[in-house]
Structure 1
Amino acid sequence: MTRYRQPGVVLRDHTFTVPLDHDDPGGERIELYAREVAATGREDDDLPWLLYLEGGPGCAARRFVGRQAWLGRALREFRVLLLDQRGTGRSTPANRQTLPLRGGPRAQAAYLAHFRADAIVRDCELIRRRLTGGAPWTVLGQSYGGFCATHYLSTAPEGLRTVLITGGLPSLTASADDVYRAAYPRMRRKTEAHYARYPQDAERVRRIAEHLAGHRTVLPDGHILTIEAFQSLGALLGTGDGSHQLHYLLENAFLPGPGGPVLADAFLEAVRGTLSFAAAPLYAVIHEPIYARGQGPTAWAAERVRAEFPAFDATASLAAGRPPLLTGETIHPWHFTTDPALRPLREAAELLAGREDWPPLYDPARLAANEVPVAAAVYHDDLYVDTAHSLATARAIRGLRTWVTDEYEHDGVRASGPKVLDRLLALARDEV
């Protein structure tokens, strides 16, 4: 197998063939891609494996260059595997271009039902047996990767040496409705904190929303920029520098035009790049099913629950002269009409939203008897994963140690360099 190099690291590409449906091992198979990373000079050493599970759902493993972020710390003692989870990156793709090959919306929805954490963990177990000779490995799960790691602890703890979770301890009991009832107040706090940090942005957001209310705005790729889509830029507020990124995005929104102010092309292009799901359509399509536990359909929970929080009604805010509140990490039916990358998947998404028979993902009894060392970073007032839900789960997993911090936002494992990973390894090893 060919090796290639970047500064300080040696890389190898791996492909694995796994069943689409692990309960039908003789049926259709799909391909998974993973990138192996070892420190230069240690590529032939007998090192323990660390598997990295990216956030999402539906996001490929991060493409690091050299020893960026946490990777340098990991390479001091591990051989790292960066897995493109099924449907993402260089693994067999699932998007508007490939899913029509499955057939109509019902066939597409049936296919996409195999892309949750349960299938991902069974993929990991097949890969582990092939790579490690059966030895357990350490798993680092960021965000949704932590959801997958929690499922791993529930179903295949024998494959795990240690589990490290960053911003990704899921509720074991909350429904999708419960998740969003907890989320909207956080979105409001994050928006108000942004307006307090950058008071000028409150007026900018109000002006942009007012403009969108009076002008149908279609971006060059066909993306329709509605007020609700504009509000979803609040997803930026969940990362360490996201408030600053949002401020810079908003500051040059308008240019003078022949008929009055117009939204600048540069602004619209930045918005398109932020809002488009072209690179990660699975994020939208299976976002709510990751919370489904076999207790009825998710039925567009974020959209239904939003109606319980009238402060997010942009029209009412504008009528009162207030800037609209921003939202974050919520998926709505209108995403499948405004975003050209999602429009062809609208009917399949509707079928997934109406599905009732999702199997449960977590086993509370098994987690209560856990024997695998587990450490989790819980970010105080995390925009994406509710802190109270995470702490309740931490108490439910035997032996889990938490580090609760407001030093970082949801992307702390990347933003901190080696610090978050170093702290979690020390916690898992009872060194602190």
Structure 2
Amino acid sequence: MVYLQGGPGFGSPVPQDFALTNTVLDRGYQMLYLDSRGTGMSSPVTASTLAMLGDEYRQADYLKLFRADSIVKDLEAVRKTLTADFPSHLKRWSIVGHDFGGFCVLTYLSFYPEGLLEAFTLGGLPPISRTPDQVYAATYKKVMDRNRVYYMKYPEDIEAIQNLCFHIKSKSGLPLPSGGVLTVRGLLTLGRHFGIYGGLDFVHDLILRAKSDLARFQFITRPTLTALERAVSIDDNVIYAILQEATYCQRVASNWSADRVGCSLKEYQWLKGSPKSASVIREGPLFFSGEMIYPFLFETFPELEKLAIVADLIAKFPDWPNLYNEWQLAQNTVALYAATYVDDMYVDYELAQGTVKLVNNCRQLITNTLFPNALYSQPGEVLKLLFELRDDSID
């Protein structure tokens, strides 16, 4: 069995520290973890490694080769190499994809189904026939729902966040320990954590620490700034920053879709620029964004700043090849077992159901009691249910 990590742009976990490993080994599988191209130990992509290629146009062309279609080509090459001497009935393998890894699973099923014995996804059924704008229109709704839950749980944070934003605005941004600047808009990207188990509490803890600092010292201390930086910075994951919207592109440019869609919503007018006055900050609860990438991130974080032109070239590229073959998926014969989370903030549930209708031989585990990071936060429960679905013991 091969594990495909979420992302895009994240390497595989350390096998011995990952709950999936023992579960799979106990079921008689051999387990293979691969760092997909550009991640982990697979020639990691950074501003420095990209600069070795030449100008921004060469760098952008290189990054176009890091989507799911290229990843599954790599997987097929590895499979064929590893099984070259195997008898024909043992040449196929099983795959399991988490989040973006599930997107790769559907790409694999589209173009190389002959290499697969069975497939599993955990929160990773991609919106196959949707444009980036349609995807973000749906996910913003879920993000706003999570904001309302957050402020219902922590109503005192309405004022605390307003005060913190006012402080950041008054200082024209806060210098971060590793470089870059924490702006009001940067702070409000903390909402990307709202979709995981414990995410609301994680953000609240950061706000509480900042609130305490301001009350005692009238500034934010270095330990708190470090914690905030770790929570908002994506400097170590440039593939995630540059190619996230491209994961939804087929024959269309994203044109900074999340930014455009967000700017059309009254809750996200802060995307248009830093608040002009304190009264704007005080108008009501400030809504956090979710798993969205914005152009301003390439102005405030040092690693991303070096890649701003590259990111813009990628955002405006219109000729992305198809990632899925709907005709092939409609006649799919490889068993697909999908764990689908009703309250998924990252992969919209309704859009995922649209995909299920397009894929033959797909069985779902649908739950509203687990979050998208269940493989990490509650692995025993989600894996038990997923394998029961495979073993046909749920009914």
Q: Please say whether Structure 1 and Structure 2 have the same fold, judged by a TM-score greater than 0.5.
A: yes
The answer to whether 1:73 aligns with 2:73 is no
Q: Is the 8 A contact 1:233 1:274 kept in 2?
A: yes
**Superposition deviation, residue 198 in structure 1:** 1.7
More off after superposition, 189-198 vs 421-430: 421-430
2:74 alignment partner, SS class:
helix
Deviations 1:40-90 (A, max 9, x none): xxxxxxxxxx10000000000112444x32222111121111111000010
SS at match of 1:238: coil
2:293 matched residue in structure 1: 331
1:297 maps to 2:253: yes
Q: Give the alignment's TM-score, normalised by structure 1.
A: 0.85
Q: Which position in structure 2 is the counterpart of 1:111?
A: 62
Equivalent residue letter for 1:327: S
Q: Give the deviation of 1:211 after TM superposition.
A: 1.4
The aligned residue for residue 156 of structure 2 is 200
Q: Unaligned regions of 5+ residues in structure 1, if any?
A: 1-49
Query: Matches of residues 302-313 of structure 1 in structure 2 within 5 Å?
Result: 302-313=258-269
Q: Given the alignment, which residue of 170, 178, 192 partners 1:214? A: 170
Residue in 2 that maps onto 1:420: 382
CA contact (8 A) 1:255 1:264 kept: no
What's the counterpart of residue 397 of structure 1? 359
TM alignment of 1:139-288, pairs within 5 A:
139-216=95-172, 217-254=174-211, 261-288=218-245
Equivalence for 1:385: 347
- Are the structure 2 counterparts of residues 271 and 319 from structure 1 closer, same or farther at C-alpha, using a change threshold of 3 Å? closer
For structure 1, which segment, 391-400 or 315-324, has the greater mean C-alpha deviation from structure 2 after superposition? 315-324
Preserved contact between residue 162 and residue 281 of structure 2 (Cα < 8 Å): no
Tell me how large the CA RMSD over aligned residues is: 1.8
| Partner-residue secondary structure (3-state), 1:290 | helix
Identify, as 1 or 2, the structure richer in helix. 2
Give the Cα separation in 1 of the matches to 2:216 and 2:107: 56
Matched with 1:84 is 35
Secondary structure of the 1:251 match is helix
Q: Deviations over 1:290-317 (max 9, x none)?
A: 11100x3111001111111111224388
Distance 1:256 1:393, change over 3 A: closer
> Which structure carries more strand by proportion?
1
CA shift for structure 1 position 321: 3.3
Check the 8 A contact 1:313/1:324 in 2, yes or no.
no
Matches within 5 A, 1:306-385: 306-314=262-270, 315=275, 318-385=280-347
Residue correspondence of structure 1 range 125-140 to structure 2 within 5 A: 125-133=76-84, 135-140=91-96
Cα contact 1:380–1:404 (8 A) shared by 2: yes
* Amino acid corresponding to residue 19 of structure 2 in structure 1: A
State the AA in 2 paired with 1:290: T
Change beyond 3 A, Cα 1:421–1:132: farther
Count of matched residue positions in the alignment of Structure 1 and Structure 2: 381
Shift in Å at residue 118 of structure 1?
Answer: 0.3
1:313-362 C-alpha deviation (Å, 9 max, x unpaired): 24388445323101111001111111111111111111111111101111
Instruction: Tell me the distance in 2 between the aligned counterparts of 1:256 and 1:114.
Output: 45
1:349-379 Cα shifts (integer Å, max 9, x gaps): 1111111110111111110101001111111
How far did residue 142 of structure 1 move? 0.3
Change beyond 3 A, Cα 1:60–1:256: closer
Residue 244 and residue 397 in structure 1: after superposition, are their counterparts in 2 closer, same or farther (change >3 A)?
same
